[in-house]
Structure 1
Amino acid sequence: MLLPPPPRRLPARHPPQTSGVRGVVGRGTALALVLCALALVAPGGATAAPRGVGSPAAAPASSAAAGAAPAGRPSPASRWSWPLAGEPRVERPFVAPAQRWSPGHRGVDLAAVAGGQVLAPAAGRVTFAGRVVDRGVVVVEHEDGLRSSLEPVEDPPPVGTSVARGDAVGRVGAEGAHCPGCLHWGVRRGTGRDAVYLDPLSLLRPAAPPVLLPLPPGGSPGAPSR
């Protein structure tokens, strides 16, 4: 009697190895997400540094702020001084006219002694030296364009003479003054009908110191406004 052959054993089937593939796919997906996020933050592939924080645009503003102090540094005193020695008494102050043709006192009268030195109140050049009616007059054109007129003055320097502040420009005259024992000092800007008279005493004040304004909240020198 023939026996039936034994049943054939089929090899066991193992599930496919997918863990490694899934790991690779997962890392690739994460990398893609990171690249997308970077692209959204900085289109063009690079992040821009904020202005004012180590950026080149903020450096010039800081340099300018640091170099502005010398240019704005006030002089310790005014560039003008009295046209007489010491500090003379003001006999009559400046009175501005209401209109160009209106009456007023277009200058100041300073107590003086005949024969005393008359000094240039600021650096400039003598543009007139002669007699007007009955008194000697000296006019000095200063470097800023203003003109000082002094009267009565005797023995003035020649026209065209350059003078520094405090240089002698003559002596107080003994006659012709519109006030006895005084020197009249007038200052004007411009000539002829366009002349504007100023108070000479206002030019003797020291230059005003610069005023530093506070920074806005959270601001910094050179930071751009938002």
Structure 2
Amino acid sequence: MSEPTHIAAPRLCLVAITKHGAALAAHLAGDLPEADICTSAKFAPQFAGVPNAVHAYDGALRDEIAPLFAAYDQIVFFVSLGAVVRLIAPHLRSKDEDPGVIVVDDAGQYVIPVLSGHVGGANAWSERVADLLGAAPVLTTASDVGRTIPVDILGRHLGWRVEAPKINVTRVSAHVVNGEPIAFVQEAGSPDWWTRPTPLPDTIHRYARFHDVPLERYAAVLWVTHADVPAGQWEALHERLVVYRPPLEADA
């Protein structure tokens, strides 16, 4: 049996600038000892006794944003949503580069992924943070809300690599979330790719071989394979094909 693909733990930071926010962050830190703390020096004493590394700053939070974006994969702000949007706006680059950004309201009732929710993992972390705080996660990414296949990150936890033009990923994602019929062809890789607690949507039809798929019946094809995909197949399935490449050792 092959070893599971190693996924590095994300670099996580909790940011608090209010009394209530600091109290919530200190509570959360007890469950996330790997997380660093960034807080106004005024509220640093509230973190006395936590095992987490604490950075207490004296200036303005806006001066901390660039270093936070550079140092962390997930940033949980105990700050108002509007303030966070304004603070991070000058630092945004792309969904493939930006860290996940999460907001927790001052009462600890809601956890909202603001940035890189899907590709960056903020949606999944929002659900975890909400569970630890006894709060409600507020997700807006269509594939997560609809509990269907996340085309752009499918199999990431298994080390799968997406192989397709960006326009294909965009078009196929739209077909999936709109509930159109999708062929899922798995010729390689682990069968444990569906991780949601709900059943696979009935719009997703599974096949063991690409050649068994009646292509005219489907809006798009998701193909997990080690096989070469000729240019003719990409052209025939114009903007309707996304290919996934599992690690070769996963089939050993």
Using the size of structure 2 for normalisation, the TM-score is: 0.18
Answer 1 or 2: higher relative contact order, Cα 8 Å, separation at least 6: 1
TM-score by length of 1: 0.20
- Counting helix residues as a fraction of each chain, which structure ranks higher? 2
- Choose 1 or 2 for highest CA Rg: 1
